[in-house]
Amino acid sequence: FARAAAIMAKPLEDSYQTTGISPSAIIAAGAKIHPAATIMAGASVGADSVVGAGAVIGPSVRIGARCRIGATAVLSFAILGDDVDIGAGCVIGEAGFGFEMTTEGAIKVPHLGLVLIGNQVSVGSNCAIDRGSLANTQIGPGVMIDNLCHIAHNVVIGANAIVAGQIGLSGSVHIGERVMMGGQVGVAPHLKIGDGAVLMARSGVTKNVAPGEQVAGFPGVPVRQFWRDQATLRRLAKSAKKGRQG
């Protein structure tokens, strides 16, 4: 399948134009495009949106109204709603890390999906959001994403979720609505995080999380169990210390 998809998936034309706005791009009234930005063929920028210096908007990318695309951000295979804020240096819509192992080594699986970003989403600087493989990567409305986050292919993040800095979401993870994730959280592939769940900072999540549950530690466990385990370890350490002193 990977070999066949690579043959059938042809690159878009006009992908290597010089800096500037393609004649076939659609720029709505009130949009502001920095002279050093690049808007490629068939892309559209909505009313009153701003595209910063050095940003690259790939072919057929759609940007809604009142959006802000930070300097040097690169967008491809993406559709953005209204009032979306993309930080400087973000890369949105590149292929994810998907491959199949063969006796001849790894074969990369072509990614054919999109990145869909809802209204009023904020993405911090230097984030990477991969396009889907066959389905789409989806970021729901009102989601807040901090700096330096990686969101892999086919991830779905529900409305109003909060994602702190340096998190990593593996492929096909499904994050429910109003989920809160602390810094440096990691989630293993294909897991589901229920609505309203809280993943404490540096949690390593290796199994599904129920709605409203709070998780901490690695591997991630319910937060009350985590603190009980920590208290037990402290008591054991104190007991061992007294035994050595005795």
DSSP structural state of residue 227: H
- Tell me the catalytic residues: 153
